[in-house]
Structure 1
Amino acid sequence: MTDLLAAIPEAPEPDWATAFRMPIVECGEPMEALGTSQGFLVWPAYHRLGIPNALPECHARAGVFARLLQAAKLLPDGLRLVVLDAWRPFAVQQHLYDTLYDILRQHEPNADPAELTRRTREFVAPPSTRAEAPSPHLTGGAVDISLCDQDGRWLDMGSLFDEATPRSYTRHYEDATDGHGRAIRDRRRLLFNVMREVGFSNLSSEWWHYDYGDQLWAWHTGAPAAIYGPAQVPSLEQLWRQQLHNLRP
């Protein structure tokens, strides 16, 4: 069993070009609604924030759901996981990427476009629906999570969810010397270690972002291939068509 307060190791920024070249051997796991869980809380952040096309429910692959339940059971008494986002429609991914890029460009109008792209990618993955290189959240393998107490009150994690500043880097508080900073450090360590214990990898620029089964996870962990490619939350029409198709002799 991993020490749940072990230090968070240093990790490089993702090499997106290399990660997107990782092979995908799709395992066919279904997507599941996370809001039915009794083991953790779900708060669909982008829907609550009014982001266009964001869904009122969080969906993820069955294997991700199972590992979230395992991680929740590893937490000390009185703490709970909160899922903020999981599978994400492409329109939402594009909106987040474009919006952050434009804000950074307005803030620093003389910045080099390549540097703006790099900084945008720290907090929003490049939008892609390509079968061989989908954005992590489009696979159902990526989740954004935080911690709350037993009554559902958010814990201070040192930055806001999706805050585009260095405070969001997972290791930002590792060298904290004051009591408040050390408390944040320990919460981030706890979240990091329970998620790693059940098989997730973390995006080093976002303390809240974890992957399982997608190309970013394969790149981080050294797995030979990703097991999740692009996924969809099926509409009722699609379900009816599939059901009728399955009835054919």
Structure 2
Amino acid sequence: MKPYQQIAIAECGESMVQIPLEIFAVESPHLYQLLGATYAELSPYYLRKSVLDSLIKAQEYLQSKNPGWRIQIFDAYRPVSVQQFMVDYTFAQVVEAQKLNIANLSAVKREDIWQQVYQIWALPSLDPLTPPPHSTGAAIDITLVDGTGKVVNMGSPIDEMSARSHPDYFANSSLPEQQQYHNDRQLLREVMTYAGFARHPGEWWHFCQGDQMWAWLSLNPVVARYGRVEETDYPS
């Protein structure tokens, strides 16, 4: 169990709504679908209504600071089944990268790899007390697109399993290019914080509002207002 999963949830019952993709930039086609994840009749481009309202507020603030810039949506709602797919996919990728045979892994080595995977990925839990953040409709993975339509280089790709994913990895670099990575990560954080989001402490791209992680990161202890969205209640 991760620390934020100890936060209590008082589900508010707020509806899920479709993200108006025309006002944002979008990662398309969706990477997880390209890898083989099955959303069935569901879509990754949904959020809780208040979370979407805040995301639009962040977009407006970004454009007031940098006209023409947009938030690019990489991922939003994620069914637990997709979370499971990506966890398994990442485990297999680590095994392949280390040139190991998955059938011959020792228990110790297997556990070591799982620990690496869960540094980035939340456990695909079906327990209502410990939902994966993206399965609540209150978490989103994003980056920035500049006024020319080019994706801003943040110094590492989303979902990278390395120290570069840490938001402040480039903070003390003396290299101008790397300092720019840090400045752009800080810009992303500024616009999202302005709109009431909290940033994942280990991932520059992950922001949340109203879920357990957001409550855990709050200066004043609060309960989470969003739990896992039941797929049967999801508006397809």
Specify the TM-score bucket, using the shorter chain as the normaliser. 0.7 to 0.9
**2: distance between equivalents of 1:153 and 1:228?**
34
State how 1:59-208 maps to structure 2 within 5 Å. 59-75=46-62, 76-106=66-96, 107=98, 112-208=109-205
Same amino acid, percent of matched pairs:
30
Task: Say if 1:129 and 1:138, in contact at 8 Å, map to a contact too.
Answer: no
Shift of 1:205: 2.2
Structure 2 residue identity aligned to 1:58? Y
Question: Which residue among 226, 229, 232 is the counterpart of 1:231?
Answer: 229
Structure 2 residue identity aligned to 1:74? Y
Structure 1 residue 43 corresponds to structure 2 residue 24: no
Task: Say if 1:157 and 1:187, in contact at 8 Å, map to a contact too.
Answer: yes
The equivalent of 1:4 in structure 2 is: none
Shift of 1:65: 0.5
TM-score (norm: length of structure 1) = 0.80
Shift of 1:232: 4.0
Structure 2 residue identity aligned to 1:201? A
**1: distance between equivalents of 2:228 and 2:200?**
19
Q: Could you report, residue by residue, the CA deviation over 1:88-143 in whole angstroms, capped at 9, with x for unpaired residues?
A: 01121011112222333452767655543332122111111211111101000110
Q: Could you report, residue by residue, the CA deviation over 1:57-78 in whole angstroms, capped at 9, with x for unpaired residues?
A: 5111111111111111121213
**1: distance between equivalents of 2:77 and 2:109?**
32
**1: distance between equivalents of 2:27 and 2:54?**
18
Structure 1 unmatched runs, 5+: 1-15, 240-249
The equivalent of 1:11 in structure 2 is: none
**Secondary structure, aligned partner of 2:35:** coil
**2: distance between equivalents of 1:29 and 1:23?**
17
Task: Say if 2:32 and 2:86, in contact at 8 Å, map to a contact too.
Answer: no
Task: Say if 1:42 and 1:82, in contact at 8 Å, map to a contact too.
Answer: yes
TM-score (norm: length of structure 2) = 0.84
**2: distance between equivalents of 1:28 and 1:60?**
13
After superposition, the CA RMSD in angstroms is 2.4
